[in-house]
């Protein structure tokens, strides 16, 4: 089996390449990424290319049995057009490559944020529930949009196997993203009257879950979230940060102003991200556990522990 992975040089992608390389049924893995892997990995051939480029020649060089599309911009860019070019145009280029190469199996790594943040989300969200139009920031809205592109592509091709993974917040020793950095600041603002539950999943569990999903050959979406949750107040306490409760209109206005002037000490995300602090978006991992038979190695509490162990200076006194 030949596998093409986009974005394989990131912290999740690296774990995925390593997991795929151990499988005896995998002959070659193409890592399509602007960066090379951090270290050589058996069976992996790096293709230095942006997903926003025309990729059809890569897809038609030799038959590809499976495409795993991870390449994305996680940390928000102030250049929204550039971010969209990588994420949405990049997804289009991957689908064009799949069409040119006759690929019959595609896994798209989406996000649990694709469900949107909404006050009606008062329960664990299942994969068959709607991806709401409210409330989003660019990252989550484009994950939702890209899922639609992939579904339409698959619907037009009978026999095409489309799988979608929707991880929650990913943590672990190698993770560095705006979500965790926002919780490392000395003061962490939150909407007044809220103390949301937070789901986490370990980077190694995400990679293992992706391999298990493609091996199952079950169609559709799969939530990827470890067992258990942590309150934002507990995360802040363990990261030696102080929570500051702010009335919602004032918090959103302050976040918008800080984002506009690029005041990273206050925020690294547009104000729409605050909806995911204000409203719940917890997901059920039942399908992954019961239908795929996947078992998480790490609970949410252990994920935070692994993250903190790699950054001892952040631990609470």
- Tell me the mean pLDDT per 10 residues along the chain, length 317: 97 95 97 94 97 97 97 96 98 98 98 96 96 96 98 97 98 92 92 96 97 98 97 94 96 97 95 96 98 98 95 62
Shortest CA distance to 244 belongs to which of 183, 297, 287? 183
Pair 138, 75: CB distance under 8 Å: no
pLDDT for 317: 42
> Phi and psi for 203 in degrees, rounded to 5?
-55, -40
3-class secondary structure, 281: coil
Gap between the Cα atoms of 259 and 50, Å rounded: 27
Q: Where are the domains of the chain?
A: 2-171+200-225+282-297
Q: CA of 283: how far to CAs of 88, 113, 121, 143, 316, in Å?
A: 24, 10, 9, 16, 29
Query: What is the 3-state composition of the chain as percent helix, strand, coil, each rounded to the nearest 5?
Result: 40, 20, 40
Tally the C-alpha atoms within 13 A of residue 111's C-alpha that lie toward its C-beta: 25
Q: From the CA atom positions of the chain, what is the Rg in Å?
A: 19
Q: What is the pTM of this model?
A: 0.96
CATH pick for 2-171+200-225+282-297 out of 1.10.3720.10, 3.40.50.720, 3.90.870.10, 3.30.1330.10: 3.40.50.720
Report pLDDT for 311.
83
CB-based contacts of 62, cutoff 8 Å, min separation 6: 2
* Token output for 29: 């893995």
Q: Using an 8 Å Cβ cutoff, are 218 and 271 in contact?
A: no
Neighbours of 98 (CB within 10 A): 25
Residue 111 to residue 145: CA distance in whole angstroms: 11
Bridge partner residues of 6 (DSSP): 32, 69
Written as six digits, the tokens of 105 are 């199996």
Q: Which helix (H) or strand (E) holds 162?
A: strand 161-167
What does the pLDDT read at residue 213? 98
Looking at residue 229, the DSSP 8-state letter turns out to be -
């Amino acid at each position: 089996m030949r596998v093409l992975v986009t974005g394989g040089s990131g912290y999740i992608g690296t774990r995925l390449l390593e997991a795929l390389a151990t499988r005896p049924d995998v002959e070659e893995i193409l890592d399509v990424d602007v960066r090379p892997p951090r270290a050589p990995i058996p069976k992996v051939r790096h293709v230095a290319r942006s997903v926003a480029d025309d990729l059809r020649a890569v897809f038609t060089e030799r038959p590809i049995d499976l495409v795993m599309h991870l390449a994305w911009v996680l940390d928000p860019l102030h250049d929204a057009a550039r971010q969209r070019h990588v994420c949405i145009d990049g997804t289009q280029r991957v689908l064009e490559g799949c069409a040119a190469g006759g690929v019959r199996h595609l896994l798209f790594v989406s996000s649990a944020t694709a469900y949107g943040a909404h006050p009606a989300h008062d329960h664990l969200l299942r994969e068959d529930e709607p991806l709401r139009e409210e409330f989003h920031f660019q990252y989550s809205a484009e994950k939702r949009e890209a899922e639609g592109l992939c579904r339409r592509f698959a619907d037009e091709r009978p026999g095409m196997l489309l799988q979608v993974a929707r991880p929650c917040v990913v943590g672990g020793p190698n993770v560095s993203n705006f979500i965790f950095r926002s919780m490392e600041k000395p003061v962490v603002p939150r909407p007044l009257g809220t103390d949301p539950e937070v789901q986490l999943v370990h980077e190694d569990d995400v990679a293992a879950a992706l391999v298990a999903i493609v091996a199952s050959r079950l169609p559709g979406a799969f939530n990827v979230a470890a067992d258990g949750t942590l309150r934002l107040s507990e995360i802040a306490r363990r990261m030696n940060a102080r929570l500051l409760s702010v009335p919602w209109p004032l918090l959103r206005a302050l976040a918008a102003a800080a984002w506009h002037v690029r005041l990273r000490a206050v925020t690294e995300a547009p104000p729409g991200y605050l909806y995911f602090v204000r409203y719940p978006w917890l997901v059920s991992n039942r399908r992954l556990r019961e239908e795929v038979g996947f078992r998480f190695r790490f609970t949410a509490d252990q994920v935070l522990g692994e993250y903190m162990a790699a950054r001892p200076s952040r631990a609470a006194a």
